Structure 1
Amino acid sequence: MQTRPPVPPFTRDTAIVKVRKAEDAWNGRDPVTVSLAYTVDSWWRNRNTFVQGREQIVEFLTAKWASELDYRLIKELWAYTEDRIAVRFAYEWHDDAGQWFRSHGNENWQFTAEGLMRYRHASINDQAITESERKFHWDASGPRPADHPGLSDLGL
């Protein structure tokens, strides 16, 4: 079976690493790569959409990133237990008309012993912003640079 370190039981340090790895993968915007962090039968609630399994994850993320352009995401550890992690996050993106948004939310994750995510519950709210209100400034083709502030540092 595939293993995705760090694996449970989580410590504060390993939970932070797990969160940053998830953030980096999502910022890569490759649906297939992202899907490999989840079990083959993973179950998601994303807003009002329910997704099950890697194939549906790939379909969901492909559509998401086709409409959420120049997507940039920051995740921050909120809480953790042995096999669960809660994060808060924000991401910025624009639609094809050029309107920018900041989407805020919380996610609750549960992992298998191999470190694959079995369940993902995401609650998300969108806020229209002007381009001058953007706070996430790095090349959208890759992960957030180590020196870019996190959510708490940005006051979000």
Structure 2
Amino acid sequence: MEQKLPLPPFTLETALQKVQLAEDAWNSQDPVRVSLGYTVDSEWRNRSTFVNGRAEIVKFLTGKWERELNYKLKKELWAFTDNRIAVRFEYEYQNVDGQWFRAYGNENWDFNEHGLMQRRFASINDVAINETDRRLR
């Protein structure tokens, strides 16, 4: 059976590890690598977009990183329970016209017993920033 360590139930240490692993995967900007942390039938709500399954995750992230250039993300553990983790995050990116943005948000994650995320719900807001105001590099 496919597994993604660490496995639930989470402790503070393993929840922090899971958050760091997710941050590292997303910062790779490799849609396939990111998708492997999710179940094959994973459910997402990302802003107002609904994504289901790894194939749709790869398609969604491929388009995202074609539009969001110079992407850099920071995730922070907010709370956790047995098989759930909540994070706050911010990321910065530049659009194809050269405008920089900082996005803020929260995610709720639900994992199966094999450590794969089966549900991800993300609420995200973007703010235009000047390049000199960037915090993530």
- In the TM superposition, residue 39 of structure 1 has moved relative to its aligned partner by 0.2
SS at match of 1:3: coil
- In the TM superposition, residue 133 of structure 1 has moved relative to its aligned partner by 0.3
2:127 matched to which residue of 1? 127
Q: Distance in 2 between matches of 1:67 and 1:60?
A: 11
SS at match of 1:59: helix
Q: Distance in 1 between matches of 2:12 and 2:88?
A: 15
Q: Distance in 2 between matches of 1:5 and 1:18?
A: 8
The answer as to 2:73 corresponding to 1:73 is yes
2:99 matched to which residue of 1? 99
Q: Distance in 2 between matches of 1:94 and 1:68?
A: 6
Instruction: Give the ranges of 4+ consecutive aligned residues of structure 1 lying more than 2 Å apart after TM superposition.
Output: none
Kindly indicate which of the two structures has a greater share of residues assigned to strand.
2
Trace 1:32-47 onto structure 2 (pairs within 5 A).
32-47=32-47
If the length of structure 1 is used for normalisation, what is the TM-score? 0.87
- Residue 67 of structure 1 aligns with an amino acid whose one-letter code is R
1:62 matched to which residue of 2? 62
Q: Distance in 1 between matches of 2:109 and 2:136?
A: 24
- In the TM superposition, residue 61 of structure 1 has moved relative to its aligned partner by 0.1
If the length of structure 2 is used for normalisation, what is the TM-score? 0.99
Unaligned runs of 5+ residues in structure 2 are: none
For residues 116-146 of structure 1, what are the alpha-carbon distances to aligned partners after superposition, in whole Å with 9 as ceiling and x for unaligned? 0000000000000000000012xxxxxxxxx
For residues 24-66 of structure 1, what are the alpha-carbon distances to aligned partners after superposition, in whole Å with 9 as ceiling and x for unaligned? 0000000011000000000000000000000000000000000
Alignment length (residue pairs): 137
For residues 78-129 of structure 1, what are the alpha-carbon distances to aligned partners after superposition, in whole Å with 9 as ceiling and x for unaligned? 0000000000000000001110000000000000010000000000000000
The answer as to 2:111 corresponding to 1:111 is yes
- Residue 67 of structure 2 aligns with an amino acid whose one-letter code is S
SS at match of 2:74: strand
Unaligned runs of 5+ residues in structure 1 are: 138-156
